[in-house]
Amino acid sequence: MKTREDVKIINQGLEDEMEVRGYRPCLWKMILVGVGAVCSGGLLLLLLYWLPEWAVKGTCTHTSLRDAHTLLLRTKDEFRQWFRVRVHRMLAPGRKPFDDLDVKPKTQLPNGDFDHQVNSVHDEQLPHGQQVQIQYFTHHSFRYYWNEVIQNFELYQGLEDVRVTCAHIHSEHSRGLTKTLQDYRRLFFGENEIAVRVPSLFKLLIKEVLNPFYIFQLFSVVLWSAEDYYYYAAAIVFMSVISIATSLYTIKKQYVMLHDMVSSHSVVRVSVCRGNKDVEQAMSTELVPGDVISIPANGMIMPCDAVLFQGTCVVNESMLTGESVPVTKTSLPSSGDEAARRYNMEEHKRHVLFCGTHVIQTRFYTGFSTEKGQLVRSILYPKPTDFKLYRDAYLFLLCLVGVAGIGFVYTIVLSIMNKVSAKTIIIESLDIITITVPPALPAAMTAGIVYAQRRLKRVGIFCISPQRINMCGQLNLVCFDKTGTLTEDGLDLWGIHRADNGSFVAPELGAAEEHLMNTTFVACMATCHSLTKIEGELSGDPLDLKMFAATGWILEEPTEEETALHNPLMPTVVRPPAVTEDGQNHSQVQNTSCEIGIVRQFPFSSVLQRMSVVVRRLGDKHMEAFLKGAPEVVAGLCKPHSVPQSFTETLESYTRQGFRVIALAHRQLESKLSWHKVQTLSRDLIETNMEFLGLIIMQNKIKQETAGVLTVLQRANIRTLMVTGDNMLTAISVARDCGMVRPHENVIIADAAPPKDSNPPCITWRYMDNPAQTARDHQTAQISMEEEMYHFAVNGRAFAIITEHFPQLIQKLALRATVFARMAPDQKTQLVEILQGIDYIVGMCGDGANDCGALKRAHSGISLSELEASVASPFTSSTANISCVPNLIREGRAALITSFCVFKFMALYSIIQYISVILLYWILSNLGDFQFLFIDLVIILIIAFTMSLNPAWKELVRQRPPSSLISGPLLCSVLTQILTCLAFQVLAFYLVQQQSWYEKWTPQSDACNVSRSSFFNSQNGTTSHDHKNIRNYENTSLFYVSSFQYLAVAIVFSKGKPFRQPSYKNWLFMLSCAGLYSFLLLIMLYPISAIDNFLEVANDSWGALLLSRLFCRRNKPPKVLYRHLALELQEDADWPPKPSTVTYANDPQSHISATL
């Protein structure tokens, strides 16, 4: 019996954590499966294809992972997906990619892969004693290798696998690799490329056709063809071909788009530095982790993730973050405290190059291990969409299968009792299954989503995941980024508030005044930024651009020739603008006395919430450091006496008004510091003992549409949150201004402190309107506000501490928190997961900058950026404001209700047809081929596709549409309709048999297949008989009754307000219903022989008589008896008597005389 020790975990603690089980082939099981496949006609193979865990367990036996030939992987998320992978083996000189090889440089490595070709590895083998056998498998473009030490498979990604310090990377990994070591590592890492293979149409076709839905359709077509239902079978084949062709076109197009997106940088030529200081040209696909490359001065698109060893570069990371602003990256620290830290990609990302950069030397990851590779993997292998509607739909279909099973048994028993042939029993019993489970159901349910997608496109919302549209209809919480989403992208300088000798001076509106030009405050504004010139234009962070423009200073960078020489003594220089002297000649004299060269830059870190620069003024012997960042952080790095006592009150007064506040600080460095010494200092040594300079007050205006949209969402009972990287008080102020927090509602700031020394972690609860009211709790907290509403506000630091040390509180906070400030990108994603954990259906709306993870994780992510990062978001709006959110929710609600309506209609259609067929089976009859064709094509498909056309209701209401099919009201609705339809069909079936003119069908009598006037002429057998018993009174009655029931059910289930426009505004649906009703009434009340023969219905002239009576009921009956008698004789088909007939006194035909 298998124990838990047989199951290993890979990617432990990560998003794609999986269980692994090992198996090896078993001969007797494989023989049994082969026999079963032959006996089942291949159906067993299909079942094993759909269920990989059954396929492995049915053909293999369990074994240890080390000896396994096949592995079963199972995800540990809520979806619990199974994957089957094959274990490959290869020969290599070592077991791990970063092992040192004790081989000669000219020795060539083997291509020892038993069953998988490894490119660019030579065929000559090392002595056998130096080679080891390594097992590995590939899953979702990642290779996992066997580790003998941990007895499990592990993933090699690159530099982080070495787990060394930054200083160690500089000393041991900065010289490059030998050719031998590069070939060795390529055995493990393969080619450096993000390989998006566009599958052939044949492969896509096979995968699509093997879908259970199409297999069921194939089964139905074969069965209908055996019953000679060629027309309907041909119609289903035609629809299936159209559906498959459309699906193949869409899938192929998406693959091609993704391939084109990543191929732009996949293969480039690079200069690779070898261990002996030689530089050789190579293709980027040949690179492996550990290679050092040199990049030309004019730059290139980076084909990999790279750690910067030396110099500074400018990067455009819009592919990953959606942020089009260039980012400045600096070299990895080689000395100091920061260099002693272990290298971590996330922590040191300001030294990592991802895409499009000017750089001297790099060391990097390759292939799908890169940040861009991770993004592409998330698109290639998305998590399945989990929505209750789809789960319930499968359960409902299982119920229909159960109903079909009852009909299956009923048909067999009834046929045996009536001594029907075995072939007929098989065909009719299987036919009842195809009737109960409608083959057109998926196509009909997709129609509403397709229509909604088209309507969204018309309002500028583009969707790459149509199934998510239904999920939008259930959103009950939406998270919004602040900057660029709720507020404008740009910041305007409102003013500056300088500090002098430990106190604030009066606020000033601008920084370009002449008396401020030579101040340290303005010098800090002019130098402490990451701006650069690209094609002669200043480019960089919008805040930096606004701040620098406010000074009026000029920035000059070294020329390309100077940069190409790698001359570090040519810094970026800033200087004040030219000044005009009021002399006679009005000459302009350049102000050179204030020229400042930027010697070193420490870029802005979202973790540290600050940036700094080291500068030297023209003519000065000493250097200075300028610091800019979050006020709380900057104040903590300054000398206490330089920070004004009113700092906290002043900062709060600005942030309460919604201003974005940035603090500046300054420090004069020791004169003995040289340029080379400064390049090696860590930022911690620079950013300390600063002198506080003052505050920059920036105004971030709320977008015009924001308040109105949030009001609409709140009226619709949809909760709104703000998740931002900005200051807490600024975020709260914006939340109040835009209506997230109403004026009378309290805000409680949860401020947490980590454990320190002997003090445990703690939370301080601070009330915005009453700061003195605090409560400190080390383990738990109970917040009770009985009379008034309250909101929690949490910053990123407190969020991390509470998540780690107060897990019992995090859900309570998430329930009432409205503002999350200073949140890092991964914390935004974590917050979305927490909200989903308490059963919120979460939407996320952001401008793409740092929101990619949350956009992907949310049930519905809406990107306001059309940059490449929007590929991570299911929805992208071309309108850069949040007005798209209500539109998306309205369309989502309409699509969801449409899905419910169509599903209920299709379920009722199958049940109605099932009842008709079950009743007709009782008299050994069935619906005719053209009756099926008329019902399924003319009635069902037209109605199903037109009832999906109702547009969304014009406003959001508080009521939300149901999310489950298995609910009381919906089940009651469906069951009531089923019972009503059953009652009317049984009543029609019974009443028609009670009529005086009814004659039971037998193969000899052939009732209803000829008219009464010619019945006696067929006694000699010249008229052909209907041996299938299609054209009889029961069939005709049930055909008409069921046809009207289909239309009635469609009208009943076509719901309008409050989620869709009323059905009478859907003129195509109304026209279809009216046309079909009119047609059915016409052919029923006024028979047309051609149509009757086509539909195989038994109509007589009673319909015309009824019609004439309906429209002529006001005419008076004839007063004279002979006219009355003439009318009756005109309706009597047996008058005059036929030749050679005899009328006897007691003959019922003499009833006319009795009337007289």
CB 347, CB 333: distance < 8 Å: no
* Mean pLDDT confidence for 250-267: 71
Return the ∠ at Cα 260 (arms to 255 and 266), rounded to 5°. 115
946 to each of 449, 903, 1066, 1071, how far by Cα in Å? 13, 14, 8, 10
Token couple for 557:
């960078």
CB 881, CB 898: distance < 8 Å: no
Residue 774 CA, chain-centre distance (Å), reads: 42
139 SS3 class: strand
723 to each of 711, 735, 845, how far by Cα in Å? 18, 11, 10
Token couple for 1039:
């055909």
pLDDT tens track for 144-166: 888 888 888 988 877 677 777 87
pLDDT tens track for 959-1002: 888 877 777 788 888 899 999 999 999 998 888 888 777 777 65
Task: Break the chain down into helix, strand, coil percent, rounded to 5.
Answer: 45, 20, 35
CB 84, CB 52: distance < 8 Å: yes
| Strand partners of residue 616 | 597
CA 547/CA 662 separation, integer angstroms: 10
More confident residue, 889 or 290: 889
More confident residue, 1041 or 1105: 1041
DSSP string for residues in 1008-1077: TSS-GGGTGGGTTS-SPP-TT--SSHHHHHHHHHHHHHHHHHHHHH---TTTB--GGG-HHHHHHHHHHH
CA 33/CA 31 separation, integer angstroms: 5
CA 1120/CA 911 separation, integer angstroms: 53
Token couple for 560:
């390309």
Q: Is the pLDDT of residue 49 over 70?
A: yes
* Mean pLDDT confidence for 180-202: 80
User: Between helices 422-436 and 388-417, what is the axis angle to 10°?
Assistant: 160
Q: Which of 832, 807, 837 is closest to 820 using CA atoms?
A: 832
Return the ∠ at Cα 858 (arms to 853 and 860), rounded to 5°. 120
Specify the pLDDT at position 296.
Answer: 66
CA 275/CA 179 separation, integer angstroms: 9
Burial 200-223 (b: 16+ CB within 10 A, else e): eeeebeeebeeeeebeebeebbeb
Specify the pLDDT at position 114.
Answer: 42
Q: Which of 899, 909, 916 is closest to 974 using CA atoms?
A: 909
pLDDT tens track for 174-183: 777 778 888 8
AA letter at 888: L
DSSP state for residue 759 in the 8-state scheme? B
Q: Is the pLDDT of residue 908 over 80?
A: yes
CA 1073/CA 1051 separation, integer angstroms: 8
CA 621/CA 670 separation, integer angstroms: 10
* Mean pLDDT confidence for 485-492: 77
More confident residue, 413 or 1118: 413
Q: Which of 345, 351, 354, 299 is closest to 330 using CA atoms?
A: 351
Mean pLDDT (the chain, rounded):
77
| Strand partners of residue 766 | 749, 774
Token couple for 987:
């009543």
Specify the pLDDT at position 291.
Answer: 81
Write phi, then psi, for 61 (nearest 5 degrees): -115, 155
- Hunting for tokens 């037998």 — which residue is that? 1002
The pLDDT-based confidence of 103 (bands split at 50, 70, 90) is: very low
CA 909/CA 935 separation, integer angstroms: 9
Q: Under the phi-then-psi rule, with left for phi > 0, alpha for psi from -120 to 50, and beta for the rest, what region is 407? A: alpha
The pLDDT-based confidence of 107 (bands split at 50, 70, 90) is: very low
| Strand partners of residue 83 | 73
Q: Under the phi-then-psi rule, with left for phi > 0, alpha for psi from -120 to 50, and beta for the rest, what region is 669? A: beta
Q: Could you check whether the bond before residue 1058 is cis, i.e. omega within 30 degrees of 0?
A: yes
Token couple for 564:
């190409």
DSSP state for residue 583 in the 8-state scheme? S
pLDDT > 90: percent of the chain = 11
pLDDT tens track for 1122-1133: 777 777 777 777
The pLDDT-based confidence of 384 (bands split at 50, 70, 90) is: low
- Asked which of 45-59, 592-606, 836-850, 1000-1014 is least confident by mean pLDDT, the reply is 1000-1014
The pLDDT-based confidence of 516 (bands split at 50, 70, 90) is: confident
Token couple for 768:
């915005």
pLDDT tens track for 326-357: 667 777 777 767 777 777 766 777 777 775 45
Q: Which of 478, 472, 477 is closest to 963 using CA atoms?
A: 472
Pairing mode of beta strands 327-330, 279-283: unpaired
The pLDDT-based confidence of 598 (bands split at 50, 70, 90) is: confident
Q: Could you check whether the bond before residue 743 is cis, i.e. omega within 30 degrees of 0?
A: no
DSSP state for residue 575 in the 8-state scheme? E
Secondary element (H or E) of residue 913: helix 884-922
Token couple for 283:
């293709």
Give me the catalytic one of 183, 291, 431, 481: 481
DSSP string for residues in 669-712: PPTT--HHHHHHS-HHHHSSSBEEEEEEEEE-PBPTTHHHHHHH
Specify the pLDDT at position 1019.
Answer: 35
The pLDDT-based confidence of 320 (bands split at 50, 70, 90) is: low
Q: Is the pLDDT of residue 535 over 80?
A: no
pLDDT tens track for 1043-1064: 999 999 999 988 888 889 998 8
CA 506/CA 1139 separation, integer angstroms: 125
Specify the pLDDT at position 888.
Answer: 92
CA 139/CA 348 separation, integer angstroms: 28
The pLDDT-based confidence of 104 (bands split at 50, 70, 90) is: very low
* Mean pLDDT confidence for 843-867: 78
969: exposed, middle or buried (Cβ count in 10 Å: 0-12, 13-18, 19+): exposed
Map 546-559 to HEC letters.
HHHHHHCCEEECCC
| Strand partners of residue 463 | 875
DSSP state for residue 518 in the 8-state scheme? T
Q: Based on the residue annotation, tell me whether 260 is a catalytic residue of this protein.
A: no
Q: Which of 143, 138, 104, 144 is closest to 124 using CA atoms?
A: 104
398 SS3 class: helix
pLDDT tens track for 287-317: 888 788 776 666 677 777 778 777 667 776 6
- Hunting for tokens 């000395």 — which residue is that? 335
Specify the pLDDT at position 191.
Answer: 78
Specify the pLDDT at position 1039.
Answer: 92
Residues 6+ apart with CB under 8 A from 1127: 1118
CA 869/CA 866 separation, integer angstroms: 8
Q: Is the pTM of this model over 0.85?
A: no
Token couple for 785:
């506000």
626 to each of 520, 525, 666, how far by Cα in Å? 9, 9, 5
CA 746/CA 817 separation, integer angstroms: 11
pLDDT tens track for 420-456: 788 878 887 888 888 887 777 777 777 778 888 888 8
Residue 135 CA, chain-centre distance (Å), reads: 34
CB 186, CB 120: distance < 8 Å: yes
Question: Residue 60 CB: number of other CB atoms within 10 A?
Answer: 20
Specify the pLDDT at position 985.
Answer: 92
